[in-house]
Amino acid sequence: MDFDLFKPKAPPLFGLDISSSSVKMLEIVEAGRGAYRVERYAIEPLMRDTVVDGNISNLEQAADAVKRAHKRLGTRTRHVAMAVPTGAVITKKIVVAAGLREDELEIQVESEANQYIPFALEEVNLDFQSLGPTAGNPEEQEVLIAATRKEKVEDRVAVAHLAGLKPLVMDVESFAQQAALSLVVQALPGGGQDQNIAVVDVGANIMNVTVLRNDQSVYTREQAFGGNQLTQEIVSRYGMSAEEAETAKRSGGLPDDFEAEVLRPFMENLSQEVQRALQFFFTSTQYHAVDHILLAGGSAVIPGLDEVVNLRTQVPSSVANPFAAMQTSSKVQLKRLMIDAPSLVVACGLAMRRFDPQ
């Protein structure tokens, strides 16, 4: 029997996703035989302008929200996996000789990175991962380089430390999202094999569209459209403050005409934005079809949005729920989790880092 006597097992961790509107925490544990269980999660709203364009502009406010979320989460675990925004990371695939030692690979990556990164290397955090042999040539391997400005990482680490947490993993939001969505894609017809799957992530200000094919991203685009447009419309129509509008948007209590006059037009606009994004995808790649649309992000929780998007685009659409095949602990309200699922996709991908092979 093989015991890892000298290699300490990585401590358990949970996912911590800091978006522009809220802090999301999620802990997933193994439930035997390759099954997972959602142990607990918490979502804590952030004060406006705490995070702007992916930058944490107020460390103390962000740390306070993280502290509150951690208290509500009720876990003794303090190790976290976090992520930097996709827009703050430069990624590039390079091809190098196969069979390089780690130190040789590092030298090669640094010299290649110099060509692609518009900052001095001492200003960036650089990471790389071998993707295996290139198609058609076993003598070469594909390597993915990811680089981000050091302050993007340091700000997130500082928030975690201020809240009494210990960051163990720093991921990229799009990679974490992909890891969680691979669980969703497996449940699609044919396991999503050789299909173009458009992931539409509608955040507060930005709509991010990524097209996945066999677990690889083949296209990505950001559009300036998000859930804040719905909030602003509620503010101007009903004379509420932005905070009141956010609360009403989530828990109801809006006037009778809200659905027809405000919500429906917002859903139509969102569907139009999705259609526009697909047109951009078709004109800038060799592909002419999308097989499935997965809706994620805070706005994906709007009931019936998948049907509106399906009608507009004529593409089968569904809300991304990475927890559909998972068990849930008694601490988790299943009904609530199903509603919150699309906004927990990144947190789920981060929480899954707990099961990385050591």
Query: The domain that contains 249 carries what CATH number?
Result: 3.30.420.40
Give yes or no: residues 245 and 312 share one domain. yes
Q: How far is 41 from 331, CA to CA, in rounded Å?
A: 9
Give yes or no: residues 206 and 301 share one domain. yes
Would you list the DSSP string of 291-350?
Answer: -EEEEESGGGGSTTHHHHHHHHH-S-EEE--TTTTSEE-TTS-HHHHHHHGGGGHHHHHH
Give yes or no: residues 299 and 199 share one domain. yes
Tell me whether residue 4 is in a domain.
Answer: no
How do residues 240-292 score in pLDDT, each as one tens digit?
Answer: 998 888 888 877 889 999 999 999 999 999 999 999 999 999 999 999 999 99
Q: What's this model's pTM, rounded to 2 decimal places?
A: 0.88
Q: How far is 63 from 225, CA to CA, in rounded Å?
A: 27
| The pLDDT value given to residue 278 | 97
| The pLDDT value given to residue 9 | 60
Give yes or no: residues 196 and 314 share one domain. yes
Q: What is the mean pLDDT of residues 223-232?
A: 93
Q: What is the mean pLDDT of residues 325-347?
A: 94
Tell me whether residue 35 is in a domain.
Answer: no
Structure-token match 């290139």, residue found: 134
Tell me whether residue 287 is in a domain.
Answer: yes
Give yes or no: residues 195 and 276 share one domain. yes
Tell me whether residue 254 is in a domain.
Answer: yes
Q: Which domain holds residue 109?
A: 88-150
Give yes or no: residues 116 and 217 share one domain. no
Structure-token match 């544990």, residue found: 29
In degrees, rounded to 5, the angle at the alpha carbon of residue 156 between the alpha carbons of residues 241 and 320 is 65
| The pLDDT value given to residue 76 | 94
Tell me whether residue 246 is in a domain.
Answer: yes
Give yes or no: residues 140 and 206 share one domain. no
Question: Looking at the 3D structure of the chain, how many domains does it have?
Answer: 2
Q: How far is 168 from 9, CA to CA, in rounded Å?
A: 13
Tell me whether residue 309 is in a domain.
Answer: yes
Task: Give the burial class of 14: count Cβ atoms within 10 A of its Cβ; 0-12 exposed, 13-18 middle, 19 or more buried.
Answer: buried
CATH number at residue 141: 3.30.1490.300
Task: Give the burial class of 79: count Cβ atoms within 10 A of its Cβ; 0-12 exposed, 13-18 middle, 19 or more buried.
Answer: middle
Give yes or no: residues 194 and 285 share one domain. yes
Tell me whether residue 341 is in a domain.
Answer: no
| The pLDDT value given to residue 8 | 53
Tell me whether residue 280 is in a domain.
Answer: yes
- Both tokens assigned to 259: 């659905």
